[in-house]
Structure 1
Amino acid sequence: MLFASVSVAGICAEAQTLEQDAAAFGAREAVAAPDLSADGSTVLYLTPGPGAKTVAVTSNLVSGKSATIVSSDGNPESLGACHFVSPTRIVCNFGGLVENTTTGDLIGFNRLVALNTDGGDAKLLGRSESVWDSRLRQNDGYIIDWLDGTDNSVLMSRDYVAEQGKIGTNIVQKKDGLGVDRLDTLTVRGKPVESPRDGAGMYMSDGRGNVRLMAIVGARDSGMLTGRVKYFYRTPHSRDWKPLAESEDYDLQPLAIDAASNQLYMLKKKEGRDALYTVKLDGSLATSLVAENARVDIDDVVRFGGGQRVIGYTFAEEKRKTVYFDPEFRGLASSLSKALPHLPLVEFVDASPDGQKLLVFAGSDNDPGRYYLFDRTAKSLNEAMLARPGLEGRTLATVKPVTIPAADGASIPAYLTLPPGKEAKNLPAVVLPHGGPSARDEWGFDWLAQFLAARGYAVLQPQYRGSAGFGDAWLNENGYRNWRTSIGDITSSARWLSSQGIADPGKLAIVGWSYGGYAALQSAATEPSLYKAAVAIAPVTDLAQLKLDSRNFTNSRLRDRQIGSGPHVAEGSPIKNVTAIQAPVLLVHGDMDANVRYAHSQRMDSALRAAGKSSELLSLKGLDHHLDDGTARAQMLTRIGLLLDRTIGK
C-alpha cells in the first residue's frame, strides 16, 4: 500500500487585486522538463528567473539542497531542456530566434551544450561552423539515445554542412545532411554511426544504442517540402536499410521501437482516426492493431526504464487516460490513484535505470500539479516539488466537460470552468477557443482559464470542428479552409452559455491565443453584437499574408495547401472585416514571433483605428509566440482584466 501526506484542498483567501491575480497566474511553472539522476537521488529541471530568464537547477531529493548549473536570459537564446548523461555530466538544449537582416524573416536556431553538473567545462556538441558552409546550420541535431550513462556518451543525430567555394586546398568538408555519431560529451570526439544523408529528416534508436529507423523527407529541387516521407528500417544485427512505409501529409507517425519485442509502435489511420499499431522489424513487417478508440485518436505510447520499453498508450476523451499493457504498472497506477485520490492526472515522468525509483507527476483541474519520488523498494511516496508554488493555498476553479449542440446538430465537446464559490447563473462569461487550429484543450489545469475564473468569469473552451484529436471528420481539413464551420461552432458555444442561463447574454467576451486569437477577431466580425470585448493574443489576422510569411521557408507549399485559395481567404481574414467589428479589441503580440508575425497585430490595430474602432496593442519586446516571460504575462493579464472589468464586469 502507498502512503502520502497530501494537501490539495484550496484555502479560501481574501479577494485578490487584479495585479496580484495577474502576477500569480502569469508566473511560469516552477518545474519544467524534470530529469531523474541514475541513482534516483537528484532531479535536474528548469525553473524561471526574472522576466524571460530560465535557470537549470539540480535538487537533491534526500538533502533538499539545490544548485544552479546554467541559465539563459531569453535574448536571444532560451534553455529548452537538460538531461543527465552521467552523474556529473549533463546536456542542455538552447534555442532562439534571430532576424535575417536581408529578408526580415525570423530564423530559429538550436544548439546542444554539454557541461558538468557544477556548470564547468561547457562544450558545443554540434559540428563546427565554417565560413565556407554551403547553407545555414540552424540546428545542431538531437539526442536519439542517452545510452547507459556510464561513459558520458550519447547517440546524436548531427547536421553536417558541406563547404563550397573553398579553393587552394584539398581539405574540404563534403559531407552534407543528417547523420548519427556516438559522441563523447567530455571530449566531443565522435565515432560515425550513420553517414550523413541528404534528405534524412529523422533517425530512431531502439533504446539500446542501435539505429533502427530512418525517415527520408520528400522535397522538390527548390528545397520546398512535399509532405511525403519514406521510412526505412533495419533488422537486428544488419546494416542494410529496408523499406518500411510511405507517409503522405504525415499520416503515419513512428513513436517508439521496443528492442525486447523487436517491433515498432506507430500511429496510422483506421476509419479516420489515429490507431496504434506494431510492426515487426524482423523482415516480415507483420503488422498488428494494438489499440483504437471509436471517439478520439490514440496519441502516444508510454515508455519506461533502461532500454525504454513500451508499457502502455494514451488518449484523451473528456479526460486523459493511460492504458497499461504491463500488469505491474497497471497495479502501480491503481495504487497511486488510491494514494492520491484528488489528483487523477498521474504520469510516470522518469525512472532510475533499475526502475526502483520513479519520478511521478500528479495534478488535476484545480491543482496545477506536484512531483513525487516513489521508492518501490521502500514503498514510500514523498512529495518533492510543486509545479506552481505561487498558487498553493488558493481556491482554484473546477473544470467540467460539457457537450454543446451546434447549429447543424453536431455535438461540440467543451470544458466549462466556473468561478469558485459562484452559482452558474447569469455570470459574465468568456469564450476561450484554443490555438492550432489543429490542437485541442484537455481537462486539467489551464493558467489562462483559471485567471479568468479567479476574476469572476465563467469560461467556456469549445473543441470546435477543426480541433485535433477527434479524428479526420472533426478536423474538417482545418480551421482556415473551413473557418465558417469552426467559427460557427464557437458562436453556438457562446449562445449555449446564455441559453443555459449560465451567462448573462449582455456580458459575453471572447479571448484567444494564436488561432484562438484569430477566432476571437473573426467571431467579433461575424457576430458583432454577441461579444462586448475581444482579446487576441498573437493572432493571425490576414490569411493571404500568412501564406506570404512562409515564402522563404521550406514549408511554403504546405502552408499554401493548408490555407488554400479562393474567396474564403479574404472573407476569413479579420483585417478585411474590421468595419463589422463593434466590440473593443485588445491585441497582444511579441515582436519576435516566428509562428505568427508581429505585423499581423500591427496592421490589424492600424486598420481598426482607421475605421474608428476601439483598439489597443500591447507589444512585448523580444518575446516569441509563447510569451515565456512571467513579467510580460502578468502585464498581459492585467490589461485583459482591465478590459473585461470595463466591458462585461465581474
Structure 2
Amino acid sequence: MPRDPWSHAMMFLRATLFLDQPLKSKQLCTFVTILLVALIAGCKGTGQAIPEPLPADVLDEVPGRIPLNVFASLPLVRRMTLSPSGEHIASIQNTAAGKTYLVVTTYDGKDVRRLLASDNKRYSIRWCDWVNDERLLVGVGADDGWSNLRWTETRLFAMNRDGSNLKTNLIAPSRDHNFFAREYLPQLQDRVIGKLPGDNRSVLIALDLDHHTYPDVYKLDVYTGSRELIERSTYGMRYWMADRQGVVRLGTAVEGTIVHILVKPVGQDRWQTLRKYDALREPELTPLGFDEDPNILFVAQPLDGRTAVYSINLSEPHLPPILRASHATYDIEGGLIYSSWLKRVVGVHSRFDESAGLYWNPDAKELQTRVDLALPGRINDIQDSSRDGRRHIVVSSHATQPPQWYLFDEDLNRLTLMVDGYPKLVPKELVKPMPVTLKARDGTVLHGYVTRPTQERQHGPMVLFPHGGPASRDVLDFDYWTQFLVSRGWAVLQVNFRGSSGYGGEFLQAGFKRWGLDMQDDLTDAARYAIEQGIADPERICIVGGSYGGYAALMGVVKTPELFRCAVSFAGVSDLRALLTDKRQFLGYELGAERQLGAWWSDRDRLKATSPVNHADTIRTPLLIVHGAEDRVVPVEQSRAMVEALKDAGFTRLRYVELPDGDHHLSRQDDRVTFFREMERFLITHLDGAERSE
C-alpha cells in the first residue's frame, strides 16, 4: 500500500529546528541546462580543501572483522515504486562507485534501464513516482546560495520509462508576471500535491510563480509542461491539499505562530475556517489527507498527551471526530496508508519497535499479517502496491537485518527478494540492541537502547550516541553507525532524551529552550547509568553525535569533561545565536528554530552560556570535528567558528576534517568512508589507547 501523497503537507507544524525555504531565492536562469549537463557528464563540487587523503587503513584487513567500507557504503536502494499496473518498477539506486541512478525495470527484472545519474555533489535525485504506466516524474535537488545564505533548489523532470521524451523544463517562467519579475523561477518546483483520476497526463502542483512563498495550485501537463491555474493563494495560503478526486479542498496559512486551516466543503466555492490556533500555546491539529469520500478528512491531534489520528466529517462539523489510531506509549507520527484497490484509507504509518504502522481496515490488516508470517521477527513495511492490489513492494528490516526490498505477487503467492540494501552485512555478524529504561535526576523516565559487542562483557569502552534532530527518536531498527561502532569492540548507548519526538507533546516541549541544560543532563545521567550497570568503563567513555548530537558531544566536554575521554562532532552546532541568525532568513523560523532555541535577543544570556564556542578555553578533551562544506542544515561556519575558537585558546588536541562536497546527511559514499575512517582512528587512539584527557 503506497504512502499517501498528501500525508506530509502539514509536517512543518511538528517541532523541527531546520526548514529549508529561504525568504529570498536567487533565480537560476540556466539551472536546467547546467543540471542536465551534470546528469550526463557529472559535476565537480567546490569547497574548502580537507587534509591529504588518508592512506588505506590496514585495520580493514583484520581477519574476522567486517571491513569499514561495508558499513560506510550507501544502501543499494533508497526508494522503489510500482507502476499502476504493477508491470514496472522504478527505483533510486546507489552503486559501489558512489553514484546514484534512476533505474526502471520490469517486475520480473528482465529489462533494466538506467535513466538518470547523479554524483551527489551539486545535485541529487530526490524522489520518483509514476503518473501512468509510461510516464515518470522525478524530483531533483541542487544546492544554491548567495552571500552567506545557502539553500536547496528543486526541479521537476519527466520522462518515459524507456528514457525517451525527457522533459527538464517542466516549470517555465510565467508569462503573466509583471516586467520586473517575469523571469522568476520558484525555489521549490517539485511540490506535487495530487493526481487527477482519469487524467493520465496531469498532476496538481503548488508553485509560487506570482507571489513569492505563497504558492498557487496548477494543473500541470507532464508531457508538455503546459499548466492551468486551479486555485489562487488567497488568505495567505502556503500549503495545499487535494482530495482523492483531484479537487483542492484544504489550505494552510501561517502568520508567525498563528496557524489557519481552511477547507472548502464539497459543492461550495467559499473557504471556511476549520481551525485557527497559536501553535505555541494551543493543541496542534495536523491535516493528513482525505479518504475516498471527499467529506472525510484525517487529522492528527492530541489524545491523553499523545498524538493520535482522527477522522472528521466535513459535511457534518457538529459531529465529534472519530478516533482511528492511537498508542499508549508513542505518538502516531506517520502518514496515511491509502489502498488503491480497496479505494479507502486503511491505516497509518508510524514506527514502533514491533511494527511499521497501524491498520483499522481488516482486509489490509490481513495482508500485513500474511507478509509478517512470511518474514517473521521483522518490521515489514508495505510501501507501494499496484492499482489492483495484486503486487506489493515490501521493505523488511530489523536491528540486525539491514533493509531488504521484496516483491510480493499475490497471484503467484510468492515473495521475491529483489535487492539487499547492504548485501555484505550478514545478520548473524550484527548485534541486537537491548531496550533500557532509566530515570533522570529529576525523575523523568528515559528510554533507549544499549548495544554491546559481547553481552557478558562488563565495564568495557562505550560510545554515548545521542541522536540528531533533536525532535527525533531512536528506534529498534538497523543503524549503520551503531553496528559499525559495535563491530570495533565498543558498546553503544542511545537514549531518547527529553526533547525527543514520539513520546507526547509534554516530553517534546520539555526540550524547548533547554539545549545544554536538562537535555544535556539526561545524557550525563544516561552515561552514569551505564557505569552503574557495569556496561561502561568510567575511564573509557566517548560521546559521538551528528547535528544536534554533534552539539551534545561538544557541550558534553564543556559541561562534564570528567565523564568523557573524547568526543566526536559531525555537523554539530557550536553557536546557538549564530544559528538563529541564519535560520531567521527562512520560512517557519517562529515555529522552528525560535521555538526550539528561544529568542535571539531576549534569551541571549542563556544562548551564549550554552554555546560551546564560548567555552573553548575550558576544553581539555580530545576532539574530532567533521563537517560538510555544502551543509544546508547546519552551516559549516558552525564548525569553523569552533575550530578557530579552540585554536585561539591554544587547544591542540583537535582533528578537524572538512568535506568539500559533503552535506548534512552523508549522502555521498566518499564522505561516509572518510568520516568513518577518521572516527575509527580517533576512537582507537583515545578510547582504546592509554591516553587520558588532562
Cα shift at 1:60: 2.2
Mapping of 1:537-556 within 5 angstroms? 537-556=570-589
Please give the alpha-carbon distance, in whole angstroms, between the structure 2 residues aligned to 1:149 and 1:388. Answer: 39
Residue of structure 2 equivalent to 1:121: 165
Moved more, 74-83 or 628-637: 74-83
Cα shift at 1:323: 2.2
User: Residue deviations 1:128-165, cap 9 Å, x none?
Assistant: 26883276621124111234586232222222226xxx
Residue in structure 1 matching 2:225, options 188, 199, 202: 188
Residue in structure 1 matching 2:143, options 97, 120, 137: 97
Letter of the 1:585 counterpart: L
Residue in structure 2 matching 1:617, options 656, 663, 666: 656
Please give the alpha-carbon distance, in whole angstroms, between the structure 1 residues aligned to 2:64 and 2:628. Answer: 22
Residue in structure 2 matching 1:42, options 72, 79, 88: 88
Counterparts in 2 of 1:213 and 1:585: CA distance versus 1, 3 Å? same
**Is contact 2:240-2:250 (8 Å) kept?**
yes
Cα shift at 1:392: 4.4
**Is contact 1:481-1:568 (8 Å) kept?**
no
Letter of the 1:217 counterpart: V
Please give the alpha-carbon distance, in whole angstroms, between the structure 2 residues aligned to 1:229 and 1:630. Answer: 40
Cα shift at 1:327: 0.8
1:633 maps to 2:642:
no
**Is contact 2:512-2:595 (8 Å) kept?**
no
Cα shift at 1:186: 0.8
**Is contact 1:512-1:520 (8 Å) kept?**
yes
Cα shift at 1:561: 4.2
User: Residue deviations 1:23-60, cap 9 Å, x none?
Assistant: 11111121112111122132211112466632111132
Residue of structure 2 equivalent to 1:214: 251
Residue of structure 2 equivalent to 1:4: none
**Is contact 2:463-2:491 (8 Å) kept?**
yes
Residue of structure 2 equivalent to 1:585: 623
Please give the alpha-carbon distance, in whole angstroms, between the structure 2 residues aligned to 1:423 and 1:494. Answer: 19
User: Residue deviations 1:404-463, cap 9 Å, x none?
Assistant: 2212222210011122x5534222110100011111111100111111111111111100
Residue of structure 1 equivalent to 2:10: none
Please give the alpha-carbon distance, in whole angstroms, between the structure 2 residues aligned to 1:64 and 1:548. Answer: 53
Residue of structure 2 equivalent to 1:337: 372
Please give the alpha-carbon distance, in whole angstroms, between the structure 1 residues aligned to 2:329 and 2:165. Answer: 51
Please give the alpha-carbon distance, in whole angstroms, between the structure 2 residues aligned to 1:308 and 1:325. Answer: 14
Cα shift at 1:523: 0.9
Cα shift at 1:120: 2.8
Counterparts in 2 of 1:240 and 1:52: CA distance versus 1, 3 Å? farther
Please give the alpha-carbon distance, in whole angstroms, between the structure 2 residues aligned to 1:187 and 1:603. Answer: 48
**Is contact 1:314-1:322 (8 Å) kept?**
yes
Cα shift at 1:198: 6.8
1:599 maps to 2:637:
yes
Please give the alpha-carbon distance, in whole angstroms, between the structure 1 residues aligned to 2:299 and 2:509. Answer: 23
SS of residue paired to 2:181: coil
Residue of structure 2 equivalent to 1:228: 258
Please give the alpha-carbon distance, in whole angstroms, between the structure 1 residues aligned to 2:318 and 2:94. Answer: 46
Counterparts in 2 of 1:450 and 1:479: CA distance versus 1, 3 Å? farther
Residue of structure 2 equivalent to 1:9: none
Please give the alpha-carbon distance, in whole angstroms, between the structure 1 residues aligned to 2:181 and 2:163. Answer: 31
Cα shift at 1:512: 0.4
Residue of structure 2 equivalent to 1:168: none
Please give the alpha-carbon distance, in whole angstroms, between the structure 1 residues aligned to 2:324 and 2:351. Answer: 17
Counterparts in 2 of 1:197 and 1:383: CA distance versus 1, 3 Å? same
Cα shift at 1:578: 2.0
Cα shift at 1:282: 1.3
1:24 maps to 2:70:
yes
Moved more, 463-472 or 302-311: 302-311
**Is contact 2:356-2:381 (8 Å) kept?**
no
Residue of structure 2 equivalent to 1:469: 502
Cα shift at 1:577: 1.7
Please give the alpha-carbon distance, in whole angstroms, between the structure 2 residues aligned to 1:325 and 1:572. Answer: 46
Moved more, 387-396 or 523-532: 387-396
SS of residue paired to 1:648: helix
**Is contact 2:353-2:477 (8 Å) kept?**
no
Residue of structure 1 equivalent to 2:275: 245
Letter of the 1:611 counterpart: A
Residue of structure 1 equivalent to 2:557: 524
Counterparts in 2 of 1:106 and 1:25: CA distance versus 1, 3 Å? same
Mapping of 1:302-317 within 5 angstroms? 302-305=337-340, 309-316=344-351
1:145 maps to 2:194:
yes
Residue in structure 1 matching 2:297, options 264, 272, 294: 264
Letter of the 1:105 counterpart: L
Counterparts in 2 of 1:149 and 1:352: CA distance versus 1, 3 Å? farther
Cα shift at 1:82: 0.8
**Is contact 2:139-2:190 (8 Å) kept?**
no
Residue of structure 2 equivalent to 1:8: none
User: Residue deviations 1:201-253, cap 9 Å, x none?
Assistant: 121122232222111232xxxxxxx0322111122233332221124338221
Counterparts in 2 of 1:615 and 1:256: CA distance versus 1, 3 Å? same
Letter of the 2:339 counterpart: F
Residue in structure 2 matching 1:497, options 515, 530, 546: 530
Aligned residues: 614
**Is contact 2:244-2:294 (8 Å) kept?**
no
Counterparts in 2 of 1:347 and 1:17: CA distance versus 1, 3 Å? same
Letter of the 1:299 counterpart: E
Cα shift at 1:81: 0.5
Mapping of 1:71-470 within 5 angstroms? 71-100=117-146, 103-123=147-167, 124-128=169-173, 132-133=180-181, 137-148=186-197, 151-161=200-210, 177-197=214-234, 199-218=236-255, 226-249=256-279, 251-260=284-293, 262-284=295-317, 286=319, 287-300=321-334, 301-305=336-340, 309-316=344-351, 318-342=353-377, 344-392=378-426, 395-419=429-453, 421=454, 423-470=456-503
User: Residue deviations 1:248-296, cap 9 Å, x none?
Assistant: 3382211111023731111112343212111112152632233333322
SS of residue paired to 1:389: coil
Unmatched runs of 5 consecutive residues or more in structure 2 = 1-59, 690-694
Please give the alpha-carbon distance, in whole angstroms, between the structure 2 residues aligned to 1:184 and 1:307. Answer: 28
Residue in structure 1 matching 2:594, options 549, 560, 564: 560
**Is contact 2:260-2:275 (8 Å) kept?**
yes
Please give the alpha-carbon distance, in whole angstroms, between the structure 2 residues aligned to 1:362 and 1:591. Answer: 34
Cα shift at 1:306: 5.5
Please give the alpha-carbon distance, in whole angstroms, between the structure 1 residues aligned to 2:552 and 2:661. Answer: 25
TM-score under structure 1 length normalisation: 0.89
Cα shift at 1:321: 4.9
Letter of the 2:69 counterpart: A
Please give the alpha-carbon distance, in whole angstroms, between the structure 2 residues aligned to 1:147 and 1:297. Answer: 32
1:572 maps to 2:610:
yes
**Is contact 2:632-2:663 (8 Å) kept?**
yes
Counterparts in 2 of 1:394 and 1:270: CA distance versus 1, 3 Å? closer
User: Residue deviations 1:378-418, cap 9 Å, x none?
Assistant: 32222222122232466112122111221222221001112
Higher relative contact order (CA 8 A, sep 6+): 2
Letter of the 1:41 counterpart: E
Residue in structure 2 matching 1:486, options 519, 523, 537: 519
Please give the alpha-carbon distance, in whole angstroms, between the structure 2 residues aligned to 1:181 and 1:370. Answer: 37
SS of residue paired to 1:62: coil
**Is contact 1:55-1:71 (8 Å) kept?**
yes
**Is contact 1:37-1:43 (8 Å) kept?**
yes
Residue of structure 1 equivalent to 2:8: none
Letter of the 1:290 counterpart: R
Residue of structure 1 equivalent to 2:7: none
Please give the alpha-carbon distance, in whole angstroms, between the structure 2 residues aligned to 1:107 and 1:612. Answer: 34
Unmatched runs of 5 consecutive residues or more in structure 1 = 1-13, 163-174, 219-225
User: Residue deviations 1:286-339, cap 9 Å, x none?
Assistant: 322333333221213322225862111344455445221111122222222221
